[in-house]
Amino acid sequence: VKPDKSSLLSVADALAIVLRQAKPLAAEKMLLGSAARNLVLAETIVSDIDSPPYTKALMDGYAVQTLAGAAGSQATPVQTLAYAAGSQATLRVIEEIAAGKMPSRHVGPGEAARIMTGAPVPDGADAVVPIEKTEAASAGEVRLLVTPKPGQNILQRGTEMKAGEMILQPGIALGPQEFGILASVGRTGAMVHPRLRVGILSTGDEIVEPSQFPGPGQIRNSNSPMLAAQVERAGGTSEIIGIARDTVASLRTMIGTGFADHDVLILSGGVSAGKFDLVPGVLRELGVVAHFHKIALKPGKPLFFGTRGDKLVFGLPGNPVSSFVCFELFIRPALMKLMGHSDCGPRQTRMPLAADFQTDNDRPTYWPARIEWSEDGSRVRALPWFGSADLRALHTANALLVLPPGAQSFLAGATVGVILLSE
Ligand code: AMP
Ligand code: MG
């Protein structure tokens, strides 16, 4: 085992450098339609109403005054006592309240109002007895089969939120719940960070389009479609720019195109130490400031990161698994930060292994793995993997094991570090 060269930048330090350079895109006002889905809020949202706006019934049934409720009212001891017969109480039905209607009468001891789910609870009542827990008595009367408890099946005005209360903060992504909450406080538009535009450029003399059958020495371009899907999954929009050849002229032209309409440029290939790995040199020549090149990581050691103004440039190693892993560890968090997320990931946790696992790595290693979610304890299984060119191993991966350098031998059940991949 070759010891890790301590001069190489750690994954954590590299991520910190990337995130320091990634500044959220300027927010803009947007209508809250489907185009805003998964965009990130850039303002504080304040409720314009109490919710619920009135104390409301949560069940169909009868609004009644409980003994405790009566104690606080002007009920006479006799009435209270009659009512306290509880599960056998027979009450006079004084009104029917449908959702959308305001009650017109106070409910006192010995009385009940027929009420529908969502309707305002009348004054005097402090519980709703579900219809199933009652039976019809003589005309205009209902018999309770249970003793109601104060507060049962009602939601007090303003329990969920009060007018003027801050309910959403900047930095949260707009998902289904947020669309519902925004609508409930009357918002049809909001300040959000715009969707990122990401250009993807593959490089290599041997790379051919996926539609072609590769000739001798040729490799299909699997990185561009994969990276485009990773960008979209992270909430950005992607444009595949094409394949640059391993010449300064080709790289210069296509990188120039790539910078034009994109906030982030992702290149794959041409960043290693080979004679035709020209990407870092051309990027520098085009005014890119290099922040790092090479990190203590397997797969993905030759990763390049630079900036030109506010634009970020990543040079990924061409091997597909290296490209994939570097995207998840560095580019995805950067895209999240640019899009305004307060929580940029990657999401890391610890989990027990599903099976014994031995490994020996010269660098910190991120090993394709599958979390087997289970209600009685989820476990993570290391997948068979033949290294950075073995993209097929990633097919069933939903996680990466975080392994320190050196020889490791784990027994099933041992706890290991895990990075969660989005699915
Ligand atoms: P490089 O980083 O250019 O040295 O490439 C490393 C390995 O990844 C080589 O075997 C390349 O053929 C392969 N490779 C580079 N770019 C791509 C791509 N876009 N799709 C699939 N494999 C690639
Ligand atoms: Mg190459």
pLDDT in tens, 336-373: 999 999 999 999 999 999 999 999 999 999 999 999 99
Query: Which one, of 226, 227, 208, lies nearest residue 218 by Cα?
Result: 208
DSSP code of residue 182: H
Please name the residue ranges forming H helices in 139-276: 176-184, 223-233, 248-260
The residue nearest atom 17 of ligand 1, judged by CA position, is 318
Task: Find out whether 269 and 205 touch, Cβ atoms under 8 Å.
Answer: no
pLDDT the model gives residue 64 = 96
pLDDT the model gives residue 82 = 45
Exposure string (b/e) for 326-363, b if CB count within 10 Å is 16 or more?
bbbbbbbbbbbbbbbbeebbbeeeebbbbeebeeebeb
300 Cα: distance to centroid of ligand 2 (angstroms): 14
DSSP string, 31-58: ESSGGGTT-EE-S-EE-SS-BSSS-EES
Task: Find out whether 57 and 119 touch, Cβ atoms under 8 Å.
Answer: yes
Is residue 319 lining ligand 1, measured as CB closer than 6 Å?
yes
Is residue 391 lining ligand 1, measured as CB closer than 6 Å?
no
| Overall pTM > 0.75 | yes
pLDDT in tens, 164-200: 999 999 999 999 999 999 999 999 999 999 999 999 9
Using a pLDDT cut of 90, give the percent of the chain over it: 92
The residue nearest atom 3 of ligand 1, judged by CA position, is 269
pLDDT the model gives residue 67 = 83
* Range with the poorest average pLDDT among 3-12, 131-140, 320-329, 390-399: 3-12
Is residue 223 lining ligand 1, measured as CB closer than 6 Å?
yes
Query: Which one, of 189, 260, 256, lies nearest residue 27 by Cα?
Result: 189
Task: Find out whether 363 and 11 touch, Cβ atoms under 8 Å.
Answer: no
236 Cα: distance to centroid of ligand 2 (angstroms): 26
Pairing of strands 237-244, 379-382: unpaired
pLDDT in tens, 32-47: 999 999 999 999 999 9
Distance CA 29, CA 72 (A): 50
